[in-house]
Structure 1
Amino acid sequence: MNRFPALLSVIALIFAVLACSDGTVATPQAASPTSLAPVVEPTSQPENPEPAPAILETRRLTLEFPSKMRAGVEGDIIRLKLEVDDLGNITPTAQFEGNTVVGETIQIPDLYETHNVTAEANLDMAGMLIQPADAIYEPLKRGQSATFFWSIRPQEPGIYRGTVWLHLNFEEKSTGEQTRIAVSAQIVEVEAVDFFGLSVNLARTSGVIGAVVGGVIGFPFIEDIIKFLFKRRKTLIFFCKRPRQGNI
């Protein structure tokens, strides 16, 4: 009889708990591994990244040429020099022993590790005898200079204008792919003067005439021949002036 009220109390407690809850029993769930890991967003990468720009090497380009020369009797030299200039200074235009010197700074890609670099120079001047007439090629190394020479000779007096071209040829060592770029185009002007104030053709003709006159004067017995011709001329004049006798 004493256990019955305690049993009723337990049953009443169970119903009270059920009445307070919504009838569902919460079950613990294991945490997923993805919920605990930090979220990392992927960074976008370009499909074809651009190559890094090549380092530029500063060099000084100096052109020297004669401003005046005699036509047909002398030749001269035109010189182009490509040398390293770490300071990037520009050489001012100046006169050196009658020649004109023009300087400028240029910047070229420093690709000596991956490419074979060749400097190509050419002188284009119409009416002038030029040696060599074709382009000149010089291998170019880092920190080393390259110099080009042309021998010129004008045949006629006048003003000769031309252009000195400089190109760089890059050949990739791994693939052999070649690239040619123009670096500089400098104007050259040379004045060819007359020989002793005369044109070249007239000077040559005068020389020939002088040689002939000198040879005649130095010919043996030339004086006797001249006297003989002079006496014969006087005799011819005398007979021409005599009166003619007509028939009576």
Structure 2
Amino acid sequence: MPSLPEARTIRLEFSPVMRAGDSQIVELNLTADGEAADTSLYEEYRVIAEARLELPFANVRPADIVSTALGQGGAATFYWEVTPREQGVSRGTAWLYLRLIPKAGGPAGETRGAVSAQSVAIRSRSVLGRTGSQARAMGVVGSLVGLWLGFPFLRTRRALR
């Protein structure tokens, strides 16, 4: 498989810790570092960047391979929404592939190869065994009860002045 003529940087961004029941965005970036000296690859092939996120114990959207065309010096960014199904550590892999499709008159045969496989580990925690939304609801209810119990003391304090 031919390689890209310019140097590229792959960056994977995600939060390693989150609340159980919440979701987060995982982002994978492929960017060019400088200019390419030889541009014949882009003249002979359509270059497509493809990515997939595998997390067995989490819901991942989109679940399938996502792809985008990659031009000379261009960048590709992929996003996934991840929601762990249970508390604990979800381990998986973020895959990045390059697919080269020959243009008319170019060499025959489509090629596809893995460029990067990066490890992903996301720990989901709970508050007293509750999900993030349940813990926030408990906090709102606790605040309302605290206000309701506190108002009689405020009235008594004002009356003493």
| Residue of structure 1 equivalent to 2:129 | 198
| Residue of structure 1 equivalent to 2:155 | none
* Superposition deviation, residue 197 in structure 1: 2.7
Segments of 5+ residues of structure 2 without an aligned counterpart are 139-161
Segments of 5+ residues of structure 1 without an aligned counterpart are 1-52, 88-108, 208-248
Of structures 1 and 2, the one with the larger relative CO (CA 8 A, separation 6+) is 2
* Superposition deviation, residue 154 in structure 1: 1.1
3-state SS in 1 of match to 2:42:
coil
1:178 equivalent in alignment to 2:110: yes
3-state SS in 2 of match to 1:156:
coil
% same residue: 38
* Superposition deviation, residue 56 in structure 1: 2.7
Q: Aligned pair in 2 of structure 1 residues 114, 184: CA closer, same or farther (>3 Å)?
A: same
1:148 equivalent in alignment to 2:49: no
| Residue of structure 2 equivalent to 1:234 | none
Deviations 1:24-54 (A, max 9, x none): xxxxxxxxxxxxxxxxxxxxxxxxxxxxx87
Q: Which of the residues 129, 134, 140 maps onto 2:59? A: 129
1 or 2, which has the higher strand percentage? 2
| Residue of structure 1 equivalent to 2:10 | 61
Please say which structure displays the higher CA radius of gyration.
1
3-state SS in 2 of match to 1:112:
helix
Counterpart CA distance in 1 for 2:4 and 2:78 is 26
Q: Aligned pair in 2 of structure 1 residues 163, 110: CA closer, same or farther (>3 Å)?
A: farther
Counterpart CA distance in 1 for 2:14 and 2:43 is 34
**Please, what TM-score do these two structures have when normalized by structure 2?**
0.72
Q: Which amino acid aligns with 2:110?
A: Q
Counterpart CA distance in 1 for 2:60 and 2:29 is 18
RMSD across aligned C-alpha pairs, in angstroms?
A: 2.4
Q: Aligned pair in 2 of structure 1 residues 54, 138: CA closer, same or farther (>3 Å)?
A: closer
Count matched residues.
Answer: 128
**Please, what TM-score do these two structures have when normalized by structure 1?**
0.48
